[in-house]
């Protein structure tokens, strides 16, 4: 098998340089082309057969409510049955391919996504209201997942000798478990879906891809490119539809061997419960890879560089309108830094340009949909006793689901603004007496996903490394924007079961280990006897 391309070191795909006029023009061209083709029709695809008929659901642009971006066909239980039966039949052959063959397909997929990177990013600006830079970063992350997992597969999954004893040969390898359900959120609509699906596939599983309802057109963009580069249609099936309608059916189906889920704590925990119920005809215990929410804090120490701290908090709290699992939703100031920090943060909030995500000048776009818009406005209007508004911004229009930044001072670490994942541009600010208390408050939620510290004290940074126990801790920088390989991403506590996407050993969660031991001290061989003899 020729796979020289995979013997090159992994490097991250650079983000687009929008300072370059030609790059801006290319992105704008993709956007215009896309606008001319709306609404996109998103089918259910089982074994390569597309179905556009039946129930569909419209998806509207969060920045401009009257633009229909897509008409999404909704999968039925019958679609799921057919897809699972075909996937279960195709799985064995796929599993038994040399791992290099599957890894090469991932690399080809990366090339294919890269060739269309602005088309896929432009679609994100319209379908999920992601501003240009962040949409581009989501696409480059998808490319990175493909290239990274392709290379890691050769190291982690391929057969390797174990032990070193005369007369015995031991071989350990990892192989696919069966059919995996890939259940993804809308907030990193291409990257997370691509990451979970390619990890499952390269490990030798067949997959049912179930994108989030809000980002099904982007999910279909991925599916189409997978088939174009050569993933077998019986191994990859595309099953869009509301999680509440077909999600449980997929998860509880006896032909599902594992579930790769990223989304909210509520849904994640319910999937873990359901996956634990063994049904008649089920061949194995279902494994669940589960990444959930966060309530992430940044500590501003009393000696922090405020130029950096304010910029870091703004990016972490209001990037993609606070709709990142890694987003900063709590700031903990230490002592006297509180007042100057808050003053500067408010000024920074005032200067944020809130605009439609497809506008290149947009710094803060809309939230995902009407439900999120109503819920977040409800919290801003009624944050609960003990929350003092420090700044409430004004949304530019009601053409889209715009929610302006809202800052609240909170004195009780148990306050709901300090505990609940709100998933929007709402920030709670707590003033701690000293760094020790700040650390205690930082880890006082059930989540443990990301966190940050701005400090110039080496001893405080060391203390944070030990006591600020989260999956991804960032010192003297913002707490979002993990890069594949450089910051393996994922949390623990109620944020996840401890896997690290884009990091070493992630692929092992998608495979079963096998070890074969052969006694090589045998005396002579039995020649192969032809069957007719
Ligand atoms: P969600 O939990 O509502 O939905 C996630 C996916 O689950 C969607 O595809 C949805 O259709 C599906 N789903 C819903 N109900 C289901 C059911 N009963 N059975 C099966 N599937 C079902 O989450 P969301 O709103 O799409 O995403 C936001 C959440 O995701 C936030 O909590 C965020 O923190 C989290 N998130 C976590 C990470 C991480 O790496 N830890 C990354 C991104 C997002």
Query: Which atom belonging to ligand 1 lies closest to the Cα atom of 325?
Result: 34
- What pLDDT does residue 234 have? 98
Residue spans in the chain of domains classed CATH 3.40.309.10: 296-475
Query: Which atom belonging to ligand 1 lies closest to the Cα atom of 291?
Result: 41
503 CB within 6 A, ligand 1: no
Cα distance between residue 468 and residue 385, in whole Å:
28
- What pLDDT does residue 531 have? 64
CATH of domain 296-475: 3.40.309.10
- What pLDDT does residue 261 have? 98
366 CB within 6 A, ligand 1: no
Residues linked to residue 44 through DSSP beta bridges, in sequence order: 51
Backbone angles phi, psi at 407, to 5 degrees: -115, 135
> Ligand 1 pocket test: which of 74, 243, 272 has the largest number of ligand atoms within 8 Å of its C-beta?
243
Q: Kindly name the residue from 146, 325, 362, 479 that is annotated as catalytic.
A: 325
Residue spans in the chain of domains classed CATH 3.40.605.10: 26-292
Residues linked to residue 57 through DSSP beta bridges, in sequence order: 72
Q: Between β-strands 447-448 and 492-493, what pairing exists: parallel, antiparallel or unpaired?
A: antiparallel
Segment 97-102 long-range contacts (CB within 8 Å, at least 24 positions apart) = 97/204, 98/1, 99/153, 99/154, 99/157, 99/158, 99/202, 99/204, 100/1, 100/3, 100/6, 100/154, 100/158, 101/1, 102/153, 102/201, 102/202, 102/204
> Ligand 1 pocket test: which of 251, 267, 376, 424 has the largest number of ligand atoms within 8 Å of its C-beta?
267
244 CB within 6 A, ligand 1: yes
Cα distance between residue 87 and residue 7, in whole Å:
30
- What pLDDT does residue 527 have? 67
Asked if 484 and 12 count as a contact pair (C-beta separation under 8 A), the reply is: yes
pLDDT in tens, the chain (533 residues): 557 889 899 999 999 999 999 999 999 999 999 999 999 999 999 999 999 999 999 999 999 999 999 999 999 999 999 999 999 999 999 999 999 999 999 999 999 999 999 999 999 999 999 999 999 999 999 999 999 999 999 999 999 999 999 999 999 999 999 999 999 999 999 999 999 999 999 999 999 999 999 999 999 999 999 999 999 999 999 999 988 889 999 999 999 999 999 999 999 999 999 999 998 889 999 999 999 999 999 999 999 999 999 999 999 999 999 999 999 999 999 999 999 999 999 999 999 999 999 999 999 999 999 999 999 999 999 999 999 999 999 999 899 999 999 999 999 999 999 999 999 999 999 999 999 999 999 999 999 999 999 999 999 999 999 999 999 999 999 999 999 999 999 999 999 999 999 999 999 999 999 999 999 886 666 667 676 65
185 CB within 6 A, ligand 1: yes
Cα distance between residue 292 and residue 267, in whole Å:
9
Query: Which atom belonging to ligand 1 lies closest to the Cα atom of 212?
Result: 9
> Ligand 1 pocket test: which of 263, 266, 492 has the largest number of ligand atoms within 8 Å of its C-beta?
263
Closest residue by Cα to residue 55 from 38, 34, 77, 81 = 77
262 CB within 6 A, ligand 1: yes
In this prediction the pTM is 0.96
Backbone angles phi, psi at 507, to 5 degrees: -60, -30
Which DSSP string corresponds to 97-165?
A: S-HHHHHHHHHHHHHHHHHTHHHHHHHHHHHT---HHHHHHHHHHHHHHHHHHHHHHHHHTS-EEE---
Query: Which atom belonging to ligand 1 lies closest to the Cα atom of 188?
Result: 43
47 CB within 6 A, ligand 1: no
- Cα–ligand 1 centroid distance for 351 (angstroms): 32
292 CB within 6 A, ligand 1: yes
Burial of 286 (0-12, 13-18, 19+ CB in 10 A): buried
Nearest CA to ligand 1 atom 9: 212
- What pLDDT does residue 323 have? 98
Q: Does the annotation mark 146 as catalytic?
A: no
Q: Is 511 helix (H, G, I), strand (E, B) or coil?
A: strand
128 CB within 6 A, ligand 1: no
183 CB within 6 A, ligand 1: yes
Cα distance between residue 240 and residue 232, in whole Å:
19
- Cα–ligand 1 centroid distance for 243 (angstroms): 9
Query: Which atom belonging to ligand 1 lies closest to the Cα atom of 267?
Result: 2
- Cα–ligand 1 centroid distance for 196 (angstroms): 13
Range 26-292: architecture per CATH? 3-Layer(aba) Sandwich (3.40)
Query: Which atom belonging to ligand 1 lies closest to the Cα atom of 186?
Result: 26
CA distances from 398 to 159, 350, 476 (A): 58, 19, 37
Residues linked to residue 451 through DSSP beta bridges, in sequence order: 297, 473
186 CB within 6 A, ligand 1: yes
Asked if 289 and 510 count as a contact pair (C-beta separation under 8 A), the reply is: yes
Closest residue by Cα to residue 5 from 109, 157, 133 = 109
Residues linked to residue 517 through DSSP beta bridges, in sequence order: 170
Backbone angles phi, psi at 315, to 5 degrees: -65, -40
Closest residue by Cα to residue 173 from 242, 63, 98 = 98
Q: Does the annotation mark 291 as catalytic?
A: yes
Tokens 């580069």, residue located: 229
């Amino acid at each position: 098998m020729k796979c020289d391309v995979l013997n090159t070191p992994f490097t991250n795909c650079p983000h687009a340089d929008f300072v370059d006029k030609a790059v801006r023009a290319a992105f704008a061209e993709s956007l215009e082309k896309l606008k001319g083709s709306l609404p996109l029709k998103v089918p259910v695809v089982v074994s390569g057969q597309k179905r556009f008929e039946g129930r569909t659901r419209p998806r509207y642009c969060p920045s401009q409510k009257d633009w229909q971006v897509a008409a999404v066909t909704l999968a039925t239980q019958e679609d799921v049955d057919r897809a699972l039966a075909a996937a279960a039949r195709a799985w064995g052959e796929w599993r038994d391919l040399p791992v290099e063959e599957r890894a090469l397909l991932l690399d080809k997929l990366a090339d294919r996504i890269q060739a269309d990177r602005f088309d896929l990013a432009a679609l994100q600006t319209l379908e999920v209201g992601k501003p240009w830079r962040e949409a581009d970063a989501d696409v480059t992350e998808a490319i990175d997942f493909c290239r990274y997992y392709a290379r890691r597969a050769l190291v982690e999954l391929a057969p390797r000798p174990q032990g070193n004893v005369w007369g015995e040969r031991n071989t350990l390898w990892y192989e696919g478990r069966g059919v995996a359900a890939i259940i993804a959120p809308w907030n990193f609509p291409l990257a997370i879906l691509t990451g979970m699906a390619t990890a499952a596939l390269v490990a030798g599983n067949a997959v049912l891809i179930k994108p989030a309802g809000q980002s099904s057109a982007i999910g279909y963009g991925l599916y189409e490119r997978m088939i174009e580069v050569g993933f077998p249609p019986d191994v990859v099936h595309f099953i869009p539809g509301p999680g509440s309608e077909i999600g449980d059916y997929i998860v509880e189906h006896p032909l599902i061997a594992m579930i790769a889920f990223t989304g909210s704590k509520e849904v994640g925990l319910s999937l873990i419960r359901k996956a634990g119920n063994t049904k008649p005809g089920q061949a194995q215990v279902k494994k669940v890879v589960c990444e959930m929410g966060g309530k992430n804090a940044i500590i501003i120490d009393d000696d922090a560089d405020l130029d950096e701290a304010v910029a870091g908090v703004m990016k972490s709290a209001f990037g993609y309108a606070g709709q990142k699992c890694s987003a900063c939703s709590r700031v903990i100031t230490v002592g006297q830094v509180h007042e100057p920090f808050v003053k500067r943060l408010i000024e920074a909030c005032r200067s944020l340009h809130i605009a439609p995500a497809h506008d290149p000048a947009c710094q803060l776009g809309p939230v995902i949909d009407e439900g999120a818009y109503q819920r977040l406005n409800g919290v801003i209007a009624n944050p609960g006793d003990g929350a003092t508004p420090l700044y409430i911004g004004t949304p530019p229009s009601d053409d889209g689901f715009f929610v302006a930044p809202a800052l609240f001072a909170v004195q009780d670490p148990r306050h709901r603004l300090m505990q609940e994942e709100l998933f929007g541009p709402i920030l709670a600010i707590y003033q701690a007496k000293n760094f020790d208390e700040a650390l205690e408050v930082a880890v006082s939620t059930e989540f443990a996903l990301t966190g940050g510290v701005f400090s110039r004290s080496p001893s405080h940074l060391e203390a944070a490394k030990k006591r600020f126990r989260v999956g991804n801790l960032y010192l003297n920088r913002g707490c979002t924007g993990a890069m594949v390989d450089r910051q393996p991403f994922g949390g623990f506590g109620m944020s996840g079961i401890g896997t690290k996407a884009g990091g070493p050993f992630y692929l092992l969660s998608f495979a079963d280990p096998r070890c074969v031991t052969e006694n090589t001290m045998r005396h002579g061989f039995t020649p192969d006897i032809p069957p007719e003899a």
